[in-house]
Amino acid sequence: MRVYEVMFIVAPNTEADVIDSLVTQLSDVATHQGARVTNVHRMGLRRLAYPIQKFNEAHYIVLTIEGSGAEIAEIERRMRVVDAIIRYLTIRIDEDLKRADKLKKQRVARAAASGGHARSRRGASSGGNAPYVESNDDEEDE
Amino acid sequence: MSSDQRRDDKGQGNRRFVRVRKSCKFCSDKVDYIDYKDTKTIGSYVPERGKILPRRISGTCSPHQRMLAEAIKRARNAALLPFATD
């Protein structure tokens, strides 16, 4: 199972319902091929850092897709055909997320180890260490 | 008063630069993944000209600089950040 982030940029003169239909259309393509659209993130109308096709702003939409990878080719082909989509970018994020997860686990383990070490050395005074680690975790999740 | 004088003497004699150790902001914030859509964070590592701020200036650690570079390059393709500005 691979996780992809498909970002596509829609021309600013496109109407809202056309954008909605594009989103559903592309999601349908993915689901038809057995993939799952886990998240649709509309970043809204944003200024472009440089003009694309003489547009200075555009709508940004990000789809998070879980699938085999075969559906990405079809989605990209569809996006290439639609004139309203002026740019698209697909990235695979499952490996990055896995690595991030690993790093986080390592950090938590290290914090726990050093907390335990400090407790054994300093005794009761470092009792405040464990809650500190936990509060850190909460921040990460937000 | 006497302590002030001593400091002055030191300043005139052998001037020493105390370099403040730069630290990786991503490490202190415990960032594991740098998202290319997060232009607020990434943008601070892209100066006026649009180039990627080098490690020796920002103090970013090697793994995070690699992630950052990747994120900036992706953001450029998505027109979230400029390729170059004059």
* In a shared domain, residues A64 and A90: yes
* In a shared domain, residues A90 and A107: no
Subunit contact A104:B32, Cβ cutoff 8 A: yes
Subunit contact A49:B82, Cβ cutoff 8 A: yes
Q: What is the residue type of A129?
A: N
Identify the domain containing residue A17 by its residue range.
2-94
Q: What pLDDT score was predicted for residue B12?
A: 57
ipTM of the complex: 0.73
Q: How is A8-49 classified by DSSP, letter by letter? A: EEE-TTS-HHHHHHHHHHHHHHHHHTT-EEEEEEEEEEEEEE
**What are the tens digits of pLDDT across the range A88-138?**
999 999 999 999 999 999 989 988 888 766 554 444 444 444 444 444 444
Contact assessment for residue A75 and residue A61, using Cβ atoms and an 8 Å cutoff: no
* Total number of domains constituting chain B: 1
**What are the tens digits of pLDDT across the range B11-43?**
456 778 887 777 889 999 988 999 999 999 999
Q: What pLDDT score was predicted for residue B18?
A: 81
Quote the mean pLDDT of chain A.
83
Share of chain A above pLDDT 90, in %: 66
Domain containing residue B59: CATH number: 4.10.640.10
* In a shared domain, residues A10 and A62: yes
* In a shared domain, residues A51 and A118: no
Q: Check CB contact of A109 with chain B, cutoff 8 Å.
A: no
Residue B20: alpha-carbon gap to chain centroid: 13
Contact assessment for residue B53 and residue B18, using Cβ atoms and an 8 Å cutoff: no
Q: Residue B5 falls within a domain, yes or no?
A: no
**What are the tens digits of pLDDT across the range A65-86?**
999 988 999 999 999 999 999 9
Domain containing residue A70: CATH number: 3.30.70.60
